[in-house]
Structure 1
Amino acid sequence: MEHMIHPFSELFEQLGLDASHQGIEHFLQQHKLPDEIELVNAPFWSPAQAAFLKEGLQQDSDWAEVIDQLNVSLR
């Protein structure tokens, strides 16, 4: 199965966040994660957002690559 590639902004839309360039930059500046906290356990996610991220990673969905990108961007 070939995975669809989602743009970073589309992940932000899926999470219900501001997907504009400025909105993404602001989010990344305001939310930093130490290495010992997993992305899905970050305190700033709602339960629904955390579930979406966790499911995307566990199922290696077409969102997994961009979720990994988000994880790196928050470090």
Structure 2
Amino acid sequence: MDTREIRMTNLFLQLGLPADEDAIARFFLDNQLPEEVPLADAPIWNEGQRQFLREALKADDEWSLVVDALNESLHEDAVKARTAR
């Protein structure tokens, strides 16, 4: 069992987003962020989502691990572009 996937699913549910595997994959593809845009400052979030993400990152608990994974996934294209130079 992939526990990371389960936690990502729970994070999406917590954020009020569709949480099935296809919806999560589409979200990552459709919402890639520039490297300089911090996760919680992205325009894709409403204020409640931003607050949750900021608090999760500060808490340094199990939520922070999955929020870090979310951050990496949403910046993946920008990192690939930078490292391909």
- TM-score for the superposition, normalised by structure 2: 0.78
Structure 1 residue 32 displacement after superposition = 0.7
Supply the distance in 2 between the matched residues of 1:56 and 1:22 (Cα, whole angstroms).
24
Quick one: distance in 2 between partners of 1:18 and 1:51? 19
3-state secondary structure, aligned to 2:62: coil
Residue matched to 1:12: 12
Deviation at 1:62, TM superposition (A): 2.2
Residue matched to 1:41: 41
Gaps of 5+ in 1: none
Measured in 1, the distance between the counterparts of 2:57 and 2:26 equals 24
Distance between the aligned counterparts of 1:48 and 1:60, measured in 2?
19
Give the residue type in structure 2 aligned to 1:26: R
Between the aligned partners of 1:15 and 1:38, the Cα distance in structure 2 is 17
After TM superposition, give the deviation of residue 69 of structure 1 in Å: 0.1
Residue 63 (str. 1) matches residue 67 (str. 2): no
What is the number of residues matched between the two proteins? 71
Moved over 6 A (4+): none
Determine the C-alpha separation between the residues in 1 that align with 2:62 and 2:70: 14
Higher relative contact order (CA 8 A, sep 6+): 1
Question: How big is the alpha-carbon RMSD for the aligned residues of Structure 1 and Structure 2?
Answer: 1.3
Larger CA Rg, structure 1 vs 2: 2
- Point out where structure 2 has 5 or more consecutive residues left out of the alignment: 76-85
